[in-house]
């Protein structure tokens, strides 16, 4: 299975302590005959290139919101596609999100 294309956006609330979040969107990998994507796994790291920690599994599709982020930190994300047999694709391209 091919990797997904991933992008991120940031959002925050200005009332009280800012509960920031990173919203991830991605494109499904190109179709492969006989293989159906059944979900996605989302991984995060605080270092470019990993190591990545799986923060969500069996996500049905984009978008995914990561609400466990801290102001002033930079996070790096990758996504994998999961097929019906539970096999994961390679990591998507890494994206970076700096939380204000």
- Taking 90 as the threshold, does the pLDDT of residue 8 lie above it? no
Set out the domains of the chain in order of their start, with CATH numbers: 5-98 (2.60.40.10)
Q: How confident is the model at residue 13 (pLDDT cuts 50, 70, 90)?
A: very low
Mean pLDDT of the chain: 86
Mean pLDDT over 34-39 rounds to 92
- Taking 50 as the threshold, does the pLDDT of residue 35 lie above it? yes
Q: Kindly report the pTM of this predicted structure.
A: 0.82
Mean pLDDT over 3-19 rounds to 54
- Taking 60 as the threshold, does the pLDDT of residue 68 lie above it? yes
Q: How confident is the model at residue 14 (pLDDT cuts 50, 70, 90)?
A: very low
Q: How confident is the model at residue 30 (pLDDT cuts 50, 70, 90)?
A: confident
Give yes or no for a contact between 77 and 46, defined as CB atoms under 8 angstroms apart. Answer: no
């Amino acid at each position: 299975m091919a990797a997904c294309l991933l992008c991120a956006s940031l959002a925050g609330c200005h009332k009280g302590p800012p509960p920031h979040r990173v919203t991830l969107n991605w494109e499904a990998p190109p179709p492969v005959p006989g293989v159906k994507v059944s979900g996605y796994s989302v991984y995060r790291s605080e270092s470019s290139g990993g190591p990545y920690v799986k923060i969500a599994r069996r996500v049905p599709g984009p978008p995914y919101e990561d609400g466990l982020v801290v102001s002033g930190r930079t996070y790096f994300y990758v996504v994998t596609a999961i097929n019906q047999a539970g096999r994961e694709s390679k990591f998507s391209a890494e994206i970076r999100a700096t939380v204000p």
